[in-house]
Amino acid sequence: MTDEPTPGQYAHFKGAPYEVLEVATHSETGERVVVYRQGYGDRALWVRPVAMWSERVQRDGYDGPRFRRVEPDAS
């Protein structure tokens, strides 16, 4: 079973910020999906299967999670 992300701030492996809002269930397939908002531009809402959200990426010398949890600044 894939660990599901919890609501909060995340960074994509390329550096862009995202906010996980919720994990939901697809009404037809039962697949778990992450509901998230991009932290730049028009701040659009997106969904991605939990399995894709949580997978490891190996690209251009990077080897790690596609998204990683980040803590907000304590300022």
Per residue in 3-59, pLDDT tens? Answer: 899 999 999 999 999 999 999 999 999 999 999 999 999 999 999 999 999 999 999
- CB 20: neighbour CB atoms within 10 A? 19
CA distance 17 to 30: 28
Contact indicator for 17, 41 with CB cutoff of 8 Å: no
Task: Give CA–CA dist 25/60, Å, rounded.
Answer: 33
Q: What is the pLDDT of residue 31?
A: 97
Q: Which domains does the chain have, with CATH numbers?
A: 8-69 (2.30.30.320)
Among 44, 18, 22, 25, CA closest to 35: 22
pTM attached to this predicted model: 0.86
71 — pLDDT class (breaks 50, 70, 90): confident
